[in-house]
Structure 1
């Protein structure tokens, strides 16, 4: 277990957020930062790094996620696009020169939990993915990824579409 994750287990969120603040200098490209309820400075990147592997779905699927809080404007994020159905942000831990996340405004925990009424929304998310890929200059190609469930490496249980590009991508991915 990493030191940051161990801090969460041993001393709670306040210790983790304090450690994250110490690792991220004030004039760092790892911004945006989040000021939590403890008044400490942590980055979204360091908060997500503790859960880089897939995790079990939450017991309460209606509980707020970091993405629902970003959509609500409670947490700052670099927004690239938004409409009445979704918000697109830059990933704070990019895996390529361009790494965007398409977040539906409707809380849908997983692709595998979608039903017939979600078909128009799912189509819209893919349409927006290609739209922002063009906007970002990814004419040579890009990858669209949706992680689903623990074994699919899903770490945030709010459906999101990764748009990755800006370099030659490798196959197989994982």
Structure 2
């Protein structure tokens, strides 16, 4: 599996940086965001280092499908019952801060309001 030794999320996958894990299997890791926008805010990341959505190819379709189907299950398990938001920032102009593909799943009362 491809990893970038300088990538924050690759270090989390490798166990070099701790995280509050919600889910893990051979392909995907999900954990709580350290700067949550809402009562429940998790990140789903592929264990394979993919910098952004721009770098996806047909070979990643099953992985992205898995993440997309997993998000609602995890939000339900975390007690989110009235809807949630999923978000994938892509590239610098898209607001991506960590260049390892990740999906935000954000739930709770009006999670898009930050203050």
- With normalisation by structure 2, the TM-score equals 0.90
Counterpart pick for 1:162 among 101, 104, 110: 104
Where does residue 94 of structure 2 map in the other structure? 152
| Secondary structure of the structure 1 residue equivalent to 2:18 | coil
Structure 2: segments with no counterpart, 5+ residues: none
Aligned partners of 2:4 and 2:10 also within 8 Å:
no
Q: 2-side partners of 1:169 and 1:157: how far apart?
A: 23
- Which entry has the higher C-alpha Rg, 1 or 2? 1
Where does residue 76 of structure 1 map in the other structure? 18
Report the aligned-residue RMSD: 1.8
Task: Decide whether aligned partners of structure 1 residues 147 and 71 sit closer, same or farther in structure 2, where only a CA change above 3 A counts.
Answer: same
- Report the number of matched residues: 112
- With normalisation by structure 1, the TM-score equals 0.61
Q: 2-side partners of 1:96 and 1:147: how far apart?
A: 17
Where does residue 7 of structure 1 map in the other structure? none
Where does residue 6 of structure 2 map in the other structure? 64
Find runs of 4+ consecutive structure 1 residues off by over 4 angstroms.
none
> Which has the higher relative contact order, 1 or 2, with Cα contacts under 8 A spaced 6 or more apart?
2
